[in-house]
Chains A and B, each alone.
Chain A
Amino acid sequence: MNESKLLDSARRGDDKAFREIVRRYEAVVARTIKGMLGDCAEAEDIGQEVFVRFYSALNSFRGDSGIATYLTRIAINLSINELKRRKRKLRIFSSKPLDEYSNIKDLKYPPDIEREEIIKALDSLDAKSKAVIVLRLINGYSTQETASILGIPIGTVLSRLSRAQKKLMALLQDHLED
């Protein structure tokens, strides 16, 4: 069933259709949230919240942007809220950051870059920079799509990408040299 038929059925209250939407887009939402927050307990809750919000907005969703883009936008916004909440919490309790990305599969990293180093470097980015890196480099969205999801101009995406990459480069400098 194509996307618009699925949407129509879900709007008419067909739970099977909505289940299919969740099944289809679960991976996109998981990549976005776990890319932003790491694999933590909150990731699953936020993932569920994304779909619950989408369900509540089914009738107002016009479908201009496509389901994946819309869900990713909700996921990014909720993840940024969660990062802000964590930051506040850290400020209050001044505890060490959680060990995020702990279950990221240890796959195909260039052998000279330690997995932990990448994790640490990504975690050092601010929420806005992290969002562009997650959308563009991890989720593989185009620059245009990234801009549309975040609701910012393409120029801003490009400058955030460039700034974030320079920061990551500086942190991973030793591992990126020949």
Chain B
Amino acid sequence: MKRALSLLYLSFDKRLSAKEESELRSSLSQSEELRREMVRIEKLRGAISQVAIDGFDPFFVERVMARIEEERAKPEIFFGSLYRAFRWAMIPSLALLLGIFIKNISSADGFSIRAAIGLPDFTVEDVFEPQTDLFLVEE
């Protein structure tokens, strides 16, 4: 009966194999309870599928388009306000940077990007190599 019931439920949502179908037919012909269950499933599914649901309120399309317009404007607002807020500092900052580059280059031995941005002339190994003599204990 459990198998027949399972096949009955499946039959509403899946195409049963020929063997399963004949098994279900045979069970249905023998069981009054199974036939009643089938009617109950049909009634239930009928009731649910007839639940008609309204669409959204009128002018939904317009409201969606307005939201999309808002979304589009967002980065513009962000970058626009960023630009407006810091516009006054742009030219002095550029002039300051240029001044620093020129000073760094003039005080360095030769022209290089490292020299322009004032990077010190030593390597990572120079920084992290332990000075072993510090650990020597004098006898």
Count chain B residues whose beta carbon lies closer than 8 angstroms to a beta carbon of A: 33
Residue of A nearest to B62 (CB): A19
**CB within 8 A of B13: which of A19, A56, A101, A158?**
A158
Chain A nearest CB, measured from B55 CB (Å): 4
Chain A nearest CB, measured from B11 CB (Å): 11
Chain A nearest CB, measured from B117 CB (Å): 38
Q: Are B52 and A104 in contact (CB under 8 A)?
A: yes
User: How long is the Cα–Cα vector from A75 to B51 in the complex, in angstroms?
Assistant: 18
| B-contact bits for A2-20, CB 8 A (1 contact / 0 none) | 0000000000000100110
Q: Are B55 and A137 in contact (CB under 8 A)?
A: no
Q: Are A169 and B14 in contact (CB under 8 A)?
A: no
**CB within 8 A of A162: which of B6, B64, B68, B71?**
B6
Tier of interface size on chain A: 35 or more
Complex interface: stretch among B23-31, B42-50, B76-84: B42-50
Q: Are A26 and B41 in contact (CB under 8 A)?
A: no
| B60 within 8 A of partner (CB) | yes
Residue of B nearest to A56 (CB): B71
User: How long is the Cα–Cα vector from A157 to B12 in the complex, in angstroms?
Assistant: 12
Chain B nearest CB, measured from A41 CB (Å): 11
Q: Are A30 and B48 in contact (CB under 8 A)?
A: no
CB neighbours of B14 from chain A (8 A): 143, 154, 158
Q: Are A176 and B40 in contact (CB under 8 A)?
A: yes
Chain B nearest CB, measured from A175 CB (Å): 8
Q: Are B50 and A108 in contact (CB under 8 A)?
A: yes
| B10 within 8 A of partner (CB) | yes
Q: List 11 A-B contacts (CB under 8 A).
A: A18-B65, A22-B64, A30-B53, A35-B53, A47-B60, A55-B71, A110-B47, A113-B43, A137-B48, A161-B12, A172-B47
